[in-house]
Amino acid sequence: MSAVREFLQEGYGALGPAPFNAFAHADGPAVPGTHVPGAAPDLVDAIAQLDLSGGPVRLHVPDTAGEYYVLQFVDAWSGTFAYVGSRATGTREGDWLIVPPGWAGTVPDVVTGVIDAPTSVVTLAGRIACHGPGDLPRVRALQQELTLTHLGDRAHRTGVPAPDSDVPEALGFYERMRVWTADFPPSAADRAYQDRFQPLGLLEEGLSPYVAAGPALTEALTRGLVLGRARVEAASRPVEDAHRRPGARRPGAWEVRPHPHGLPPGCPGTGAPDFPQWRTEDGEAARVLRAVAARRDLWRPHGYESLQASTARDSRGRPLDGGRTYLLRLAPPPPVRAFWSVSPYGVPGDHLAAGEPQRYAVGDRTPGLEYGPDGSLTLRIGRERPADRAGAANWLPAGEGEFRLVMRMHVPDQAVLDGEYVLPAVERAEDA
């Protein structure tokens, strides 16, 4: 809920703030001057915070004529529970009714479908493919047609509940959790688990028990927060290791990181397939994974929607440097059902590396790429533009200094998810 509150008040990344039940749209894809670490240069963000406390909200999506987009639904406890978009529901125009927990009203005949939200506040994270500056007019027209309409019979919230300002900062985390838990209760599957926190004051209503907490409770809570953070950090490392592909410890191997958490209780919902590898039946393990996801990959989609891989070293383990030329031989290119692209990011900072104007990614939608007779594709990566025609056509500019490459595969084939398809290491041109 901290992210929801910050978005309502300050915005998120390059997006300005927007009230509940309204979209905030980015002006375009990320560029080197967009100071958002890891931002994509071929996706345009659209984010909305939905409040269903006053009743349902209708989402209208335009016809994208086959072009990729995704709208990801995330509940107040960071669980992604539904998707609308190219993979999940197709690209035709439609209307979706998003209803609060326990809603039993009449569904209008005109809606395409109903999405049952587990909590009364929902984050709607959207991404629209944009294939270069010439594609921006199409994207902006879609933004105008992507709308939300409050259909409830009561006014919705204008903000999230405020914690008691008299609570000491050391206990601020618990105060926020107490207030937001009361207003946005977890799913029924988690409520019995929640009862165990009654002795800590997390379920107290009305006056905060943390304003004048005794020394024993204060010490227990502050130490618990330290231990909890350490546990989440420790849990992040096995998650990362578990998703490394065979041979990932070889020099230059790409690190592949699907979104770590499974489906929340009550799923699968619309567009969220019940794949066994995305479900964790152990409730305790699922809660830890959810915490890892919220801390490290908030609002990132599951791997079956979009999978990201990265590398910062070449085939001999040396850091990638913009002053050199590299080859990435894709034989074959990544098998996907939407599109793939690769981009360079400066190290440190993780911002898009400045290269040739408005060419910050190369992928299967890049015009003029030259493929081999067998369908393979060799990309040339570096600061200097290749002199030959084929090299220039397949050139990915990299800026000064060290960088890393990020490969994004949207709606990857099962071979990618299973690890059967492995991205090759990047080679220095003089080593080839």
* N-terminal to C-terminal alpha carbon distance within the chain: 50
The CA–CA distances, whole Å, from 58 to 73, 74, 110, 145, 146 equal 14, 16, 11, 13, 11
DSSP-derived letter for residue 292 is H
| 213: containing domain | 169-236
- Among 204, 219, 236, where does a domain finish? 236
Q: Record the tokens describing residue 25, joined without a space.
A: 């749209």
> Does residue 289 lie within any of the structural domains?
no
Q: How many domains does the chain have?
A: 3
pLDDT digit string, tens, across residues 124-136: 999 999 998 899 9
Q: Residue ranges of the chain with pLDDT lower than 70?
A: 1, 189, 237-249, 258-269, 271-283, 285, 296-297, 355, 432
Looking at the structure, tell me whether residues 135 and 201 fall in a common domain: no
**Residues 86/338, Cβ–Cβ less than 8 Å:** yes
Same domain, 9 and 140: yes
Q: How many CB atoms lie within 10 A of CB 351?
A: 20
Residue type, 346: G
Q: Given 217, 236, 255, which residue is the final one in a domain?
A: 236
Distance CA 349, CA 169 (A): 30
Kindly state whether residue 182 falls inside one of the protein's structural domains.
Answer: yes
Answer whether residue 256 is part of any domain: no
Summarize pLDDT for 377-406 with one digit per residue, the tens: 999 999 888 888 878 899 999 988 899 999
Query: Where is the domain boundary, 208, 236, 264?
Result: 236
Are the C-beta atoms of residues 84 and 92 closer than 8 Å to each other?
Answer: no
Judgement on whether residues 392 and 364 belong to the same structural domain of the protein: yes
Condensed to tens digits (0 to 9), the pLDDT of residues 68-94 reads: 999 999 988 888 889 999 999 999 999
Helices (H) then strands (E): counts for the chain: 9, 18
Neighbour order of strands in the sheet with 94-99: 113-116, 94-99, 57-61, 147-150
Other Cβ atoms closer than 10 A to 3? 16
For residue 419, which amino acid is it?
G
How long is the chain? 432
With respect to residue 244, please indicate whether it lies within any of the assigned structural domains: no
In a domain, 265, yes or no: no
CATH code (residue 56):
2.60.40.1610
Residue 257 lies in a domain: no
